[in-house]
A and B are shown apart, each in its own frame.
Chain A
């Protein structure tokens, strides 16, 4: 999420977009349609268990054993939060047959859009002309690279 944007200028947009979305979810605008109200309510209900759940699972993951050494305190706090969120989730979640059909349909819709996107990438890659042969280095570039290699070799010899 926080890796959106150019590689040399990351972590600038991700959290801003995330917090803007969170704010809109928690403080919905006036004049929403019925389905938008339902989606907003369902998002708020989901966040009520998903936020403690995400923090809990992250804490559990960071306290899990690495080379057989685990952090017991983190595991206890993480599992307490996870169990709390699971109990909240069970009290909020009410699946039914109608919901299953719509959920499968929405999953298929997402998958279709993703497949179309991947095919578009493939087609774009196939029609784009490849890079031409790289030009040989110019005089000052050769000197710059030689200087770097030479200084590294001198450093290595000095260490030996």
Chain B
């Protein structure tokens, strides 16, 4: 149960980090990313605090590193299913021929 909760909050931290990196990389003068960056930082901080209450005796950095790496391992397990579904769609596309429809 503890592992499942760790992975859940780890994924939230990972997604928040990805959003922050995206906001930083995609910055342009016509966009104010401050509110979104603050909300992502708040989400990440709440998740780290939640994990800190579950895992006593670990520093915040250790908690972030451990939970994010656990969540990356778990997310990589979904990739084969995603890959299979894309392959099935492309299989249908590559062998399907439309009927000639006279105008």
Contacts and interface: CB of A to CB of B under 8 A. Distances in A.
B35 A64 contact: no
Interface of B: 3-5, 7-12, 14-16, 19, 21-22, 25-29, 35-36, 39-40, 43, 62, 65-66, 69-80, 83-84, 86-87, 90, 93-94, 96-98, 100
A120 B29 CA distance: 20
A108 B25 contact: no
Given A4-B26, A65-B97, A109-B9, A102 B70 contact: yes
Given A109-B11, A113-B15, A113-B19, A64 B74 contact: no
A102 B19 contact: no
16 contacts: A5-B25, A6-B27, A33-B66, A38-B69, A40-B69, A42-B73, A68-B97, A68-B98, A86-B84, A102-B3, A103-B75, A106-B10, A109-B71, A117-B36, A117-B40, A117-B43
Contacts of B71: 106, 109
A80 interface: no
How big is the A interface, by class? 35 or more
A106 B75 contact: yes
A5 B26 contact: yes
Contact of B74 (A4, A33, A49, A102): A102
Given A4-B26, A103-B75, A124-B35, A61 B90 contact: yes
A23 to B, nearest CB: 16
A109 B87 contact: no
Name the prevailing secondary structure of the A interface residues: helix
A78 B90 CA distance: 11
B90 A33 contact: no
Q: Give the top 5 A-B pairs by smallest Cβ distance, nearest first.
A: A109-B11, A113-B15, A6-B28, A120-B39, A106-B74
Contact of A109 (B7, B27, B90): B7
A53 B25 contact: no
Contact of A35 (B8, B28, B36, B69): B69
B10 to A, nearest CB: 7
A130 interface: no
Contacts of B9: 109
